[in-house]
Amino acid sequence: MPGVKRTSVSFEEDEESSLSSGPDSSTPKRARYGRDAVPQSRNVGLASTVGTNIDNSAGDDDYLEEPHQPGAIVRVTLNNFVTYTSAEFHPGPSLNMVIGPNGTGKSTLVCAICLGLGWDPANLGRAKQIGEFVKHGSAEATIEIELASAAKHTPNHVIRRKIRKEGNKSQFIINGQQSNQKNVVTLAKSLAIQIDNLCQFLPQDRVVEFASLTPIALLRETLRAAASEEMVQWHDDLKLLRTQEKEDEMRQQSIATTLKDLQKRQESAQSDMERWRQREELITKEKALQKCRPWIERKLLRNQIEELKGNLADTKAQLGQCEEDAAPARAAQQDMEEYKEKLRVVKIERQAVVARAKERSKELLESARAEQEIITDADNEVNAEKQGERGRVQDIKRIERVIADLKRDHQQAPVAVDDEAYRAHRENLTENRLSAQRDAKDVQREMVESKAQLKDIGEQLKNLTQQRDLLDTQSGKQANLLKRLSADTWTGWDWIQKNRDSLSLKGEIYGPPILTCKVTDPRYANIVEANLNQGDFTAITFTNGDDQRLISEALLGRNGPRLHQITLRSIAKPLSFYSAPVTDDHLRQLGFDGWVLNHIEGPEPVLAMLCDSKRLHRIPFSLNPLSEMQSKQVEESPISQWTEGDKSYKTTRRREYGSAATSTQVNHVRPAQVFVDQPVSDEDKRRLDDRRREVERDRQRVKEEYGDMARRLAEHEAKAKQAADKLADLDREHKDKKRALAQWNMLPRRISEKEQEIESIRETMSQTAQRILQAKETASQAELRKARLALELRTSVCDLERAQEDLVEVEIRLVEAISEVDALEEENTEINNTIRRLKTGFQTLRQQKESVASRFRALTEEIKRFIPELTDEEKTFIEDYKNLASVEELEHEIDEVTNKLSLLTGGNPDAVRHFADREKEIERKQRALEQVTAELETTRHKITDIREQWEPQLDELVATISEGFSHNFKQIGCAGQVDVDKDEDFEKWSIKISVRFREHETLTQLDSHRQSGGERAVSTIFYLMALQDLARSPFRVVDEINQGMDPRNERMVHERMVDIACQERTSQYFLITPKLLSDLKFHPKMKIHCIASGEHMPESKQAGAGLDFARLAEVALRRKGVVG
C-alpha cells in the first residue's frame, strides 16, 4: 500500500520555540492538577483546526476519506468525565492514533468508549465503581457516542450515558429516547461490537491480561472476534457435547461393569438356590404346623367340656341324697342354735343393765367426793384467813419501819450536779484523745508510705540484681540491647509480662524477635539483618487482633504509660501459609545457598510475622556472588529480592509495561549488630553495681525512719489511751451523781406509796371476820348435800347387786346351750363334711367348665381371625393335621421338620432375598445400559455433524490468520505461524503461536519463558493485526501495546499496523500511545489525535490564543523546507 514517511520535526531557539515540544518516550506520568485536558484531532496535511470539532473536508487529493463502516465510532463527546470538562473526538474510519504525554487523558477516551456503550468498569481493569469516573468536583458526567448506522440514508445511532457520582447511578438515552443498559448493550452487539473481547478492545490495564491469555482462552477470544456467531456456538456445543460424551462413556462403562459383576454373582448363587428353596418349603410347613395348634387345642377343649358336664351332673345328684339323709339331725341342731342365740341376746341386755347400774353408782360416789372437797376447801379458807391476819400485822410493822427510813433519807440532800463543768472537762479530755489519735494516724500514714517505699526499693534491688546477673547471659545481653534500641519497647514488653495474668487475652503474645529469635549459623547473621529493620527486631507479635487493640490502648492510651516508640503487629495466617516461590532444587540451580527464613529459629507466630512484613520466605541468599547467567535467570524468575555476597538486590517490575519495565535497587550488607554475641562493657557492670549500693543505702535510711515512726506511734497511742481512761472515769462519776439525785427526788413518791400500802392492808383486815363466816356457811351446806348423796348411793349399790345376779344366771344357761350345740355338731360332723365336700367339688367343676368354655370361645374367635390370613397351602396343611389326637403329636411333627431344617443350615439367610434383588437390579441395569448406549450414539452423531461443519471453517480461519501473521513477520525479517492445537477434548483445543526472531533459529512456541517482553508484545500486536481483515467488529482499540518494545520492533510494528489498518474497507482502529519515534510511516487515511494538558493550558483558541497543533506542524514543516 502506498505511504510516506513523516519528516522529523525540530525547533530552533526562536520566538516560536516555546509553543511545544514532543514528549520524550521515557517521561514518567505526571500528577493531574484538575485542569481540563485539551484534545485536538486532525488529519495530517490539514492547515488548521478551530475548537475541538475537526473538519475533515481538506485532505490528500489521492485518498478521499471513506465512509465509516456500520457500528464504527463517528463521534465521542465528553463532559466532566475523568480529566475532561468538555471534549469532543471525531475519529476517522481507518487508523486513529491518540498520542500525548503520560497523564494527559489518552486512556480516558478508551474508558469513555467502554462505559458509553453500556459495558461495566470491570472490562477496564481500573476503578470498580462507575461513580469514580466522574471528574473531581463534579456531580455527574456525560458520555455521548455516535455510531455509524447499518443502512444507508438512515441517521446514525447516538448513545448517551449520564453518570451520577452519588449512588453510582447511570441513565441511558438512545437516539433521544430514554432507555436502559440492556438495550444499549443489545444495540452494540447487533453491530458486532464486543467490548469484553480482548481481541477487539484491549485497554491499557488489561494488556498484561491479554498477553497472559492461555492458548485455550486465545482460541475462544479469536472465534468471538473473527468468526461467525454460529462458529462460536458450534464450539460451545462441541465442548458441551464432548463433556456429555465423556459422562455417557463413564456411565456406560460403570453400568456395564456393574452389570457384569451382578451377572457373575447371580450365576455363582444359582447352585445354592435349590437348597434354600427346600429350606423355604420346610419353613412354610413348620409355620403351617404351628398354626394348626389352635384347631387341635379347640378339639381337646370341646372334649374336656363334655367330660366336665357329666361330672357336674353326678356331683349334683350325690349332694341331693346327702342333704335328704341329714335333714332330722340338722333340724335339732338348728333349734338348739336358735335357743343359744336368744340367750346371747338376753346376756347382752343384762350386761347393759349392769353397766348402767355401775355408771350410776360411780356418778353418786364422785358427787359425794366433790362435796367433801368443798367442805375441805372451806375449812382451809378459815384457817388461811386466821393465819393471814397475823401476817398482815407483821407487814404493817415492817412497812412503817421502811417509811421511817425513807423520811430520814429525804432529810439528807444529795451532792449538786454541775453539768457545765462536766461538759468543759469532758471536751478537754476528748480533744486530748482526738489530738493523740490524729497524731497516731499521721504517723501510720507515714509508716504505710515508708513501707511501700521499702517494697519499691526491694523491687529495684531485685531488678538491678537480675539485670546485673543477666549481663553475663546471652538473653540478658539481648534484653540490654533491646533497651538501648527501643526503651519504649523494653518498657512495654516488661509491662505485658507483669500484667499478663490480669488481662483478658484471647490468644498468645510473643516478645520481639531480638529476644525470641536467633540465627542458626553466625555466618548468616549479616544476611538476616540486611533484610530487617529496627521495627522488625523490636515488634511484639499478637495471634489475636483484639489482644493487639487491648494492649495498644493500655500502652498508648491516656491511662497507660503512653509509649510512642513501640511496634505492635498481629498475624492472621500461620507460618505454613507462607511458601517459597520456587522449589529448593530450582533455588540451588539458580546458585543460591538457601532461604533467609530457614536460618532463623524462633516461635512460629513470630516467624510468620516476619514473613508477612518482610517476606523472608521469598528472599534467597548466596554467600558468594552469582554468575552472570545465574543473575539473568534470577531476573526472569519469580524472585524479586535476594542477597549475594556482600550485596542485597531488590527488583521492582511494572506488569503493565512488560518484563522490560524493571528497576533494581542494590545495597551493601552491613555487619550484624543484633544476632551476634556482643561483649558487655565494664562500664555497664560498674553502673549497675553503683546503683545497687545507692539503692541499698536508701533502704537502710528508710528502715531507720520507719523505726522512729514506730516509737512515735507508740507514744501517741499511749496518750490517747490515757485520755480515754480519764474520760471514762469522768463519765462514770457524773452518771453516779445523776443517779443519786434522781433517787432522792423519787423518795416522797415512794413514802406515799408505802403509806397507801398500809391503808390497803388495814382495809383487808377489816373484812377478815366476814370472810370466815361465809366459808363456814359454805361447808355446812356441803355437809347436807353429802348426806343425801350417801342415801342414793346405797340404793344404787343394791340395784347393781340384783343386776349382776341376773347376768350370772343367763351366762350359765348360755354355756349349757353352747355345750348342747357342740354335742349335736359333733354328731353331724361326718354328714356335714360330706355335704361341704360335695358343694366345693360342684363349685370347682362349674368354675373349670366356665374356664374351659371361655378358652374354647377365645380359640374359636382366634381361628376365625386366622382363617382369612391363611394361604391355600396353609389351609391344606391344617385340614391334614387338625385331627391329630394331641398337641404332643403335633409337637412331634414340628420337631421332625425342625430337624430337617437343621441339616440345611450354614448358608446366608438373606441369599434368596439377595438373589431376587439382584435379578431385579440386573433387569434395571440392562435397561439403563441400552438407554445410555443410545444416548451416547446420539451424542456422537451430533458431535460428528457439528465437527464436520466447524472444523473445516476453523482450519480455514486459522490458516488465514496464520497467513497474515506470517506475512507480518516476514516484513520485519522474522517468521511466525499460527496453528490449531487439536485434542480429543474440545475444551483443550487451542491456538498455538510459533515465532522466530533471529536467523538460524527454529520456530518455537510463544510463551513467557522463551521470548522477551518486547518480543511477546510484537507477537501480540501482529496477531491482532492478522485479525484486522477477518474481524467482524466495526472498530478495534489497543491502548499502549508498544510498552516494553525496543525502537526497532516498535518501528516495524507501526509500519505493519499502518499498512493493514489503512487498507480498503477495513474496520476502524484506535491506537493509544504516549510516545512516538521519529520518521514513522504514515498513511493519508490515518488520523492523528494529539492530547496535551498541563498546569497552565490555554483556555481556548479564540483570536489566535490557545494551543494549535496545525500551526505547530506548519512551523515545523516550514523550517524543514517542506512547505513554503
Residue 172's pLDDT band (cuts 50, 70, 90): very high
Which pLDDT score is estimated for 268? 72
Give the mean pLDDT of the chain: 78
pLDDT at 30 over 50: no
Residue type, 750: R
pLDDT at 13 over 50: no
Closest Cα partner for 572 from 537, 538, 612, 539? 612
Per-residue pLDDT tens digits for 981-1021: 988 888 889 999 899 888 778 888 887 667 777 777 778 77
Tell me how far CA of residue 270 lies from CA of 266, 905, 933, in angstroms: 6, 17, 29
CA distance linking residue 1067 with residue 194, whole number of Å: 14
Per-residue pLDDT tens digits for 139-161: 899 999 999 887 666 789 999 99
pLDDT at 66 over 60: yes
- Residue whose entry in the numeric block shows the C-alpha cell 443498559: 181
Which pLDDT score is estimated for 44? 33
Alpha helices (H) along 767-827: 768-827
Which pLDDT score is estimated for 909? 59
Is the pLDDT higher at 540 or at 632? 540
3-state secondary structure of 227: coil
Per-residue pLDDT tens digits for 353-396: 888 888 888 888 888 888 888 888 878 877 877 777 777 778 88
CA distance linking residue 24 with residue 40, whole number of Å: 20
Per-residue pLDDT tens digits for 784-808: 887 888 888 788 888 888 888 888 8
Which pLDDT score is estimated for 94? 86
In degrees rounded to 5, what are phi and psi of residue 37?
-75, 145
DSSP 598: G
3-state secondary structure of 519: strand
Which pLDDT score is estimated for 779? 79
Per-residue pLDDT tens digits for 255-275: 888 888 888 887 777 766 767
- All three cell numbers of 779, joined, read 361447808
CA distance linking residue 1042 with residue 656, whole number of Å: 11
pLDDT mean over 309-315: 79
Residue 198 near residue 214 (C-beta atoms within 8 A): no
Per-residue pLDDT tens digits for 870-922: 777 777 777 777 677 777 777 777 777 777 767 666 556 566 777 778 888 88
Residue type, 382: V
pLDDT mean over 266-291: 72
Which pLDDT score is estimated for 38? 38
CA distance linking residue 67 with residue 570, whole number of Å: 64
Which pLDDT score is estimated for 7? 31
Tell me how far CA of residue 823 lies from CA of 330, 516, 612, 992, in angstroms: 12, 120, 123, 138
Which pLDDT score is estimated for 362? 84
3-state secondary structure of 133: helix
Signed CA dihedral, 654, 659, 660, 662: sign only: positive
Which pLDDT score is estimated for 325? 66
Residue 29's pLDDT band (cuts 50, 70, 90): very low
Q: What's the full length of the chain, in residues?
A: 1124
Give the pairing type, strands 4-5 and 1081-1082: antiparallel
Mark 519-545 as b/e (b = at least 16 C-beta within 10 Å).
beeeebbbbbbbbbeebbbbbbbbbbe
pLDDT at 641 over 80: yes
Residue 43 near residue 56 (C-beta atoms within 8 A): yes
CA atoms within 13 A on the CB side of 592: 26
pLDDT mean over 464-470: 66
DSSP run (H or E) holding 87: strand 84-89
Give the pairing type, strands 539-542 and 509-510: antiparallel
Which string of DSSP letters, residue by residue, matches 109-124?
A: HHHHHHHHTT--GGGT
Residue 337's pLDDT band (cuts 50, 70, 90): confident
3-state secondary structure of 13: coil
What end-to-end distance do the CA atoms of the chain give, in Å? 28
Residue 385 near residue 775 (C-beta atoms within 8 A): yes
Mark 789-820 as b/e (b = at least 16 C-beta within 10 Å).
beeebeebeeebeebbeebeebeeebeebeeb
Second-level CATH architecture of 4-26+66-212+1036-1120? 3-Layer(aba) Sandwich (3.40)
Residue 989 near residue 981 (C-beta atoms within 8 A): yes
Residue 199 near residue 1028 (C-beta atoms within 8 A): no
Per-residue pLDDT tens digits for 201-216: 666 555 556 666 788 8
Residue 35's pLDDT band (cuts 50, 70, 90): very low
Residue 687's pLDDT band (cuts 50, 70, 90): confident
- All three cell numbers of 491, joined, read 518498657
The strands making up 140-147's β-sheet, listed across from edge to edge, are 84-89, 73-81, 140-147, 157-164, 169-174, 177-179
Residue type, 352: A
Which pLDDT score is estimated for 595? 92
Lowest mean pLDDT among 475-479, 724-728, 893-897, 1002-1006: 475-479
DSSP run (H or E) holding 174: strand 169-174
Per-residue pLDDT tens digits for 933-977: 999 899 989 989 998 999 899 899 899 888 888 888 887 788 999
The overall pTM is greater than 0.85: no
- Residue whose entry in the numeric block shows the C-alpha cell 486532525: 42
DSSP 974: -
pLDDT at 746 over 60: yes
Rounded to 10°, the helix 768-827/682-766 angle is: 100
Which string of DSSP letters, residue by residue, matches 160-171?
A: EEEEETTTTEEE
CA distance linking residue 798 with residue 898, whole number of Å: 96
- All three cell numbers of 781, joined, read 351446806
Per-residue pLDDT tens digits for 841-850: 878 878 888 8
CA distance linking residue 597 with residue 616, whole number of Å: 5
Residue 943 near residue 237 (C-beta atoms within 8 A): no
pLDDT mean over 621-640: 86
pLDDT mean over 192-202: 71
Per-residue pLDDT tens digits for 1007-1016: 766 777 777 7
CA distance linking residue 644 with residue 377, whole number of Å: 136
CA distance linking residue 538 with residue 1016, whole number of Å: 46
Percent of the chain with pLDDT over 70: 82
